[in-house]
Amino acid sequence: MSEFWSDRTVVVTGGRGFLGRAVCARLRERGVGRLIAPSSAEYDLRRPDDVARLFADTQPDLVFHLAARVGGIGANMARPADLYLDNLLMGTYVIEEARKAGTPKTVVTGTICSYPKHTPVPFREDHLWQGYPEETNAPYGVAKLAQLVQAQANRAQYGQNVIYLMPTNLYGPGDKFHPAVSHVIPALIKKCVDAVESGADHIEVWGTGSASREFLYVDDAAEGLVLAAEHYDGPDPVNLGTDEELPIRDLAAMIAELTGFTGEIRWDTSKPDGQPRRRVDPSRAAELFGFKAQVPFAEGLRRTIDWYLTHREEALARDH
């Protein structure tokens, strides 16, 4: 139980999604006074009137803006305009309505996709403006980065308290496994499990396998967001990560072993790798609000695979 949360009304946009459910669980553990996780059917955050109605109906003391339209490389290539506009509108309207409503604090999640394509590793927050994002996810990354500009501009002009956190690639139980929207870990898990069950002798994976990624377990990300809400009130963006980097080729081999797939992994080099490398410097989060990721990657991966095998219908149901 936490005194910080006990008398607060908290709205979590996207609270029924992958990260949102983990954040809501953390808030309940801390004894939040009133927790509201509205659905997109109740309030379409791409519409300013709906956002205004959400704030009028709930009168929150604190807002976590987690709602987003996301997907892997395939989704980003197929629907760049949707990912750009939906994310830009949702973030813009939520931040502005929080300002107009006098909401004491707003926590906004950015994305690692906002960093330039060729960023020095590890990514530090002051690298954000040193180049354009990797092409396949640039529309999404730019839309999310615009919310940092808005938050800082509103803080400077109006004194609005908006903090901006950038989790690295998330994974864990509850992730999306539908091929239209899945990221690399759920996509590889599904491919391997399908191959084992069908007796296939190979799977095909996009790219060369040489790109690297950093992965953050969803419960660790949720803890980071809640700690920041409790302890951080500054204008600067903050990474949430592990400072560990894994080539996709090694990731595929790990997932194959854990799922029992013994066939060939074929790399489709006609498809893009995405950003060449990703690993963030997490030191600012440690210094400002004491965040350090706790779940070892191999353990988190096992938990994710086990969840998929026992919740397959739910895992495949979410296609947007």
Each residue of 293-313: pLDDT tens digit? 999 999 999 999 999 999 999
Inter-residue contact 284 to 239 (CB < 8 Å): yes
**Residues annotated as part of the active site:** 140
pLDDT for 76:
67
Q: Is the pLDDT of residue 174 over 70?
A: yes
Where are the extended beta strands (E) located within 172-304? 202-206, 212-213, 215-217, 238-240, 246-247, 264-268
Q: What is the pLDDT of residue 319?
A: 75
Give 30-62 pLDDT, tens digit per residue: 999 999 999 999 999 999 999 999 999 999 999
Interior/surface letters 27-62, b for 16+ CB within 10 angstroms, e for the rest: beebebeebbbbebeebbbbeeebbbebbeebebbb
Confidence of residue 181 (pLDDT cuts 50, 70, 90): confident
Q: Answer for the pair 264, 191: CB distance below 8 angstroms, yes or no.
A: no
Q: Kindly report the average pLDDT of the chain as a whole number.
A: 95
In this prediction, residues 262-274 reach a mean pLDDT of 93
Sheet holding 9-13, edge to edge: 34-36, 9-13, 62-65, 105-109, 162-167, 238-240
Residue 71 has pLDDT above 80, yes or no: no
Whole-Å CA distances, 252 to 137, 265, 296: 22, 8, 17
Residue 122 has pLDDT above 80, yes or no: yes
pLDDT band per the 50, 70, 90 thresholds, residue 1: low
Strand partners, 9: 34
Q: With bands split at pLDDT 50, 70 and 90, how would you rate the model's confidence at 66?
A: very high
Lowest mean pLDDT segment, chosen from 31-45, 77-91, 237-251: 77-91
State in words which class domain 3-317 has: alpha beta
Residue 182 has a pLDDT of 86
Calculate helix-pair angle for 48-58, 80-101, nearest 10 degrees.
Answer: 40
Q: Which of 202, 301, 28 is nearest to 12 (CA)?
A: 28
